[in-house]
Amino acid sequence: MIEQGEGLRHRHLLGLATYEADELELILRTARQFREVLYRRIRRVPTLRGITIVNLFFEPSTRTRISFELAEKRLSADTINFSKSGSSVSKGETLKDTAQNIEAMKVDMAVIRHQSPGAAHFLTQCVDAVVVNAGDGAHEHPTQALLDLLTVSDNFDSFDGLNVSIVGDITHSRVARSNVHALRTLGANVTLCGPRTMMPREVESLGVRVTHRLDEALEGCDVAMALRIQLERQGASLFPTLREYHNTFGIQMDHLERHPDLLIMHPGPVNRGVELASEVVDHERAVILDQVTNGVAVRMAVLYLLSGSVENRTGEDGE
Ligand code: CP
């Protein structure tokens, strides 16, 4: 089913800033092939038999954690799940020691979500395993952006010239950062929209347009990606009230009426009535649950393509 001989130039997936268009397209092509497995009666292929993957989650997650676990099971990998609570991290063990101890049990690949930007990169310096970043602080969330790309490509013929607006707390968003890199690499026009207090300085240097007016961001826009207001990352309140945020930057039904072809996306979890009106979340032009389904396929593709770098990889029969 999956073509042999194609591969990624990268050994790890730490972020999308250094991934080129042909690598992004390979991941999307491979994900479309794996997505077909999810609709079979027996949703399992032997592709990663013999590979052991540890999921290191130092931060809460629903979608990313479950979809990585499902992707690994669908590919027949052996998996171990680590979460910070209940682990020896509470006794003071460092990330390096935790990772090296787990690797000593013979692990081939490590998926990591961590609150610190750069944690995934740091892990590559501590272990030989192939590392996949499942979100590191406000730095990058590459598999989220890849599943967003897959969802966009399900709805549009090409990224070239597509107008995508990302709305919300850009400063604290690893999803925005990964999407800007990937969308720009594939030729889309990206607009970032949010309050001045949530917009990083000199963000235009990434080749994006910046506006602080939602109406301007939605004019001529094909895809609007709303970002979650991350109350847990904000040391100080960056806007007066959630109601005011919703009134100024929340996407509401009248936006859908004024822009009848606009596609609505959100990485989740959604704060209903804040980034999106509740009716917008449930609207047929909101593809939020399609994004979640695509998350499993994209993570299968990433794990499969990176598994080629696993040292001393044996054949399916262990030969
Ligand atoms: N989109 C996303 O990363 O969701 P989780 O935090 O639930 O994994």
> Model confidence over 238-275: pLDDT tens digits?
778 889 999 999 999 999 999 999 999 999 999 999 99
Instruction: Indicate whether residue 144 lines ligand 1 (CB < 6 A).
Output: yes
> Model confidence over 208-236: pLDDT tens digits?
999 999 999 999 999 999 999 876 665 45
**Average pLDDT for 186-209:** 95
Q: Which of 55, 56, 57, 64 to mutate to test the pocket of ligand 1 (most atoms within 8 A of CB)?
A: 64
Instruction: Indicate whether residue 64 lines ligand 1 (CB < 6 A).
Output: yes
Q: Is the pLDDT of residue 21 over 90?
A: yes
CA of 144 to the centre of ligand 1 (A): 8
Q: Is the pLDDT of residue 316 over 60?
A: no
**CB of 67 closer than 8 Å to CB of 297:** no
Which residues contact residue 162 at a Cβ distance below 8 angstroms, ignoring those fewer than 6 apart? 152, 156, 183, 187, 188, 189, 222, 223
User: What is the per-residue pLDDT for 123?
Assistant: 95
What is the residue-wise DSSP string for the chain? -PPSS---S-SSBS-STT--HHHHHHHHHHHHHHHGGGGSSS----TTTT-EEEEEESS--SHHHHHHHHHHHHTT-EEEEEESTTSGGGGT--HHHHHHHHHTTT-SEEEEEESSTTHHHHHHHH-SSEEEEEEETTTB-HHHHHHHHHHHHHH-S-STT-EEEEES--TT-HHHHHHHHHHHHTT-EEEEE--GGGS-TTGGGGS-EEES-HHHHHTT-SEEEE----GGG-SS-SSS-HHHHHHHH-B-HHHHHHSTT-EEE--S---BTTTB-HHHHTSTTB-HHHHHHHHHHHHHHHHHHHHTTSTTPPPTT--
Integer-rounded Cα Rg, in Å, for the chain is 20
Q: Which of 115, 133, 144 to mutate to test the pocket of ligand 1 (most atoms within 8 A of CB)?
A: 144
Query: Binning pLDDT at 50, 70 and 90, where does residue 312 land?
Result: low
**Average pLDDT for 59-82:** 97
User: What is the per-residue pLDDT for 1?
Assistant: 53
Instruction: Indicate whether residue 267 lines ligand 1 (CB < 6 A).
Output: yes
User: What is the per-residue pLDDT for 235?
Assistant: 47
Torsion angle of C-alpha atoms 193, 235, 239, 291, degrees rounded to 10: 40
The residue whose C-alpha atom lies closest to atom 3 belonging to ligand 1 is 64
Instruction: Indicate whether residue 117 lines ligand 1 (CB < 6 A).
Output: no
Instruction: Indicate whether residue 270 lines ligand 1 (CB < 6 A).
Output: no
> Model confidence over 134-184: pLDDT tens digits?
999 999 999 999 999 999 999 999 999 999 999 999 999 999 999 999 999
User: What is the per-residue pLDDT for 43?
Assistant: 95
CA of 5 to the centre of ligand 1 (A): 32
Q: What is the spatial distance between Cα 75 and Cα 73, in angstroms, rounded to a whole number?
A: 5
Q: What is the spatial distance between Cα 187 and Cα 160, in angstroms, rounded to a whole number?
A: 4
Q: What is the spatial distance between Cα 199 and Cα 247, in angstroms, rounded to a whole number?
A: 18
pTM: 0.94
CA of 66 to the centre of ligand 1 (A): 9
Place of tokens 């479309």: 32
Q: Which of 55, 56, 59, 62 to mutate to test the pocket of ligand 1 (most atoms within 8 A of CB)?
A: 62
Query: Binning pLDDT at 50, 70 and 90, where does residue 51 land?
Result: very high
Instruction: Indicate whether residue 268 lines ligand 1 (CB < 6 A).
Output: yes
User: What is the per-residue pLDDT for 236?
Assistant: 54
